[in-house]
Amino acid sequence: MSSALAGLLHREHAATGLFLELLGLEAQAMTEGLFTELPGLAERKSQLAGQISAISRQREALQQSLGYGPGRAGADAAAAAGDAVLKTAWQQLLARAAEAQAMNHRNGVMVHTHLDFTRQTLNFLKAGGQPLYGPDGTHQSGGGGNRLGVG
C-alpha cells in the first residue's frame, strides 16, 4: 500500500510543479506589464488547483483506509510509518507546496500593488475635475491661459 500512497504523492508533487510554472508565468506577465494574459493564467491555475485537490483527496482517502487520520497529521503519520521512498515523497511534496504558497502570496502582493497604483492614478486624474479626453476621443488641454502668438 505504501507504493500506492507514494504514487499519489508523486502525482501531487508533479501537479504542484506545473502550478509553480503557471505562477512563474503569472509573475512574468505582471512584471512585463502583460496584464491581458492574467485571466487565461488564472483560469489555468484554477483548473490545476482543482486537479491537485482531487489528487489530495484520493491520497487522504487512501491514508485513512490504511488506518491513518485525515489531514496533515494523518499524512505525517503515514509517511513516518512508511519506507524511505514514501518519506522522501512526502517531504518533497511539503517543500514544493510551501514554495507554491510563497510564490502565490508574492504574486498576490504584486496584483494588489498594481491595483493600488491604478486606483491612485485614477483618483489623481479625477481630482483635476477636467476631463482628460473630449467627446471625440482627442486629448483636451487643461490650460486656460492665453494662446501664444495670438494678439
* DSSP string for 54-81: HHHHHHHHHHHHTTPPSHHHHHHHHHHH
CB 87 within 8 A of CB 80: yes
2-127 domain in CATH 3.20.20.70? no
pTM assigned to the model: 0.78
Q: Cell numbers at residue 64, please?
A: 485513512
Name the burial class of residue 5, with classes exposed (0-12), middle (13-18) and buried (19+) by CB atoms within 10 angstroms of its CB: buried
Residue 96's nearest CA partner among 3, 6, 5, 16 is: 16
Q: What is the pLDDT of residues 74-119, one digit of tens each?
A: 999 999 999 999 999 999 999 999 999 999 999 999 989 988 888 8
